[in-house]
Amino acid sequence: MTNIQTKIIHDSNNRNRFEGLINPAISRTSTVLYKNYEDFWEDEKQGFSDKSYGRAGTATTKALANALSNMAGVEYTIITSSGMSAITTSLLSLLQPGDSILVPDNIYVCTRRFLDEELAKLNIEVIYYDPLLEEGIRDFIKDNTKILYLESPGSGTFEVQNLPLLTSIAKEKNIITILDDSWATSLNLPSFKLGVDITVSSLTKYINGHSDVFLGAISTNNPEIYQQLYCTLRNLGGNASPDDCYLALRGMRTLATRLKTQSESSIEIAKWLENQPQIIKVMHPALPSFSTHHLWKRDFKGSSATFSFIIDYDVTTVKKFVNRLKLFGIGLSWGGYESLIMPLNLRKYRRYGWHDYQGEVIRLHIGLENPQDLIIDLKMNMQINN
């Protein structure tokens, strides 16, 4: 069997790709014309099919969906206008008033905001759990629990969840599992082999990789769930632009190479940080000293390059340090070619373990720069005397 990296490059080894062209055309359209009057009414009778309107996607959208399905080894992929759109579409599609959803406490903050501000309005109960729970998750499951939401590693603090155990408990209890795999991508996390029902991904991050596109994807092997999610996306109108799909397809070709380089650099930097006297803790799943490293090692095939550390500085000293850096931009998001730094305030919203801690938490995204240059930038600016 061909290596996945080769499959991505050869678009699953299909030599007759796009009528001989190695790249798909960018097909932009709103209207799709019918052959004739009868054809129109035939389609209307069936409530208008996928073919009838550009909102359902064009050949370019489908090319990206196919490429992502091939990479993940999954049947169905739906492309959405952003990672958030993938998340909100799947939750709005599957949940009803009266249902309950279990959510890890280290969930991506914008997802948290959606749950607290939008789902709560629909009388859907959102229950946060400690992401480190294993068998203990059973205590949170109730008769109305519909979804066990997973994010591994989680945002900000990067705890790795025990996915095979959690998905097997969910299966036993007839609960649907949704996993946000944006950090690892399906290249490095075989979610469906670990029993996950649905993955949601921000393609904005590593898959596109160039900080110039917003896109998301939902994948599943379940045909009924796929149909339901697809209809909800159409109803909500969260469809993606073909131009963005083209860029994400282009980004995907170099995903394996970028992830390898960036993750190696990030581990080098994480190891360096770990030995600095100001650092209390480095939170990187691929770092042997990290608490859930054993789960990452067991379940993941590789790493990416976003991680955090806790520094024994007060806020004023952190401000000096961050402002002095030359190579790290202060900015949201991650997964692009350039290194970024972001201070985090976990005390504000975390419920489990993070309302009180010493020092300040800082997140890094390591780009494609030379890692030694990045270490020098950190080193020069970490020694704060004034």
Ligand X SMILES: *Cc1c(COP(=O)(O)O)cnc(C)c1O
Interface with ligand X by CB under 6 A: which residues?
82-84, 108, 155, 180, 182, 202, 204-205, 214, 216
Q: What is the closest distance, in whole angstroms, from the C-beta atom of residue 274 to ligand X in the complex?
A: 24
Distance in Å, CB of 214 to ligand X, minimum: 5
Task: Return the number of the residue (185 or 204) whose C-beta is nearest ligand X.
Answer: 204
Buried-exposed string 33-55: b where 16+ CB fall within 10 A, e elsewhere: eeeeeeeeeebeeeeeeeebeee
CA angle 218, 332, 215 (to 5 degrees): 25
Q: How far apart are CA 85 and CA 235, in angstroms?
A: 12
Q: Between 211 and 261, name the residue whose CB sits nearer to ligand X.
A: 211
Measured from the CB atom, the residue of 84 and 252 that comes closer to ligand X is: 84
| Bridge partner residues of 337 (DSSP) | none
Among the listed residues 351, 354, 333, the one whose alpha carbon sits nearest the alpha carbon of residue 342: 333
CA distance 112 to 360: 21
| Torsion of Cα atoms, 155 then 218 then 64 then 206, to 10° | 0
Minimum distance from residue 35 beta carbon to ligand X (Å): 37
Q: Would you say 205 or 350 has its CB closer to ligand X?
A: 205
Least distance CB 181 / ligand X (angstroms): 9
How many residues would you count in the chain?
Answer: 386
CB-based closest residue to ligand X: 83
Cβ proximity to ligand X, 210 vs 320, nearer residue: 210
Q: How far is the CB of 145 from ligand X (least distance, A)?
A: 22
Which of 150, 76, 81, 158 lies closest to 111 in space, CA to CA? 150
Smallest separation (angstroms) from ligand X to the CB of 204 = 3
Sole residue written with tokens 């000096």:
320
Q: 13: left (phi > 0), else alpha (psi -120 to 50), else beta?
A: left
Closer residue to ligand X, CB minimum distance, 141 or 342: 342
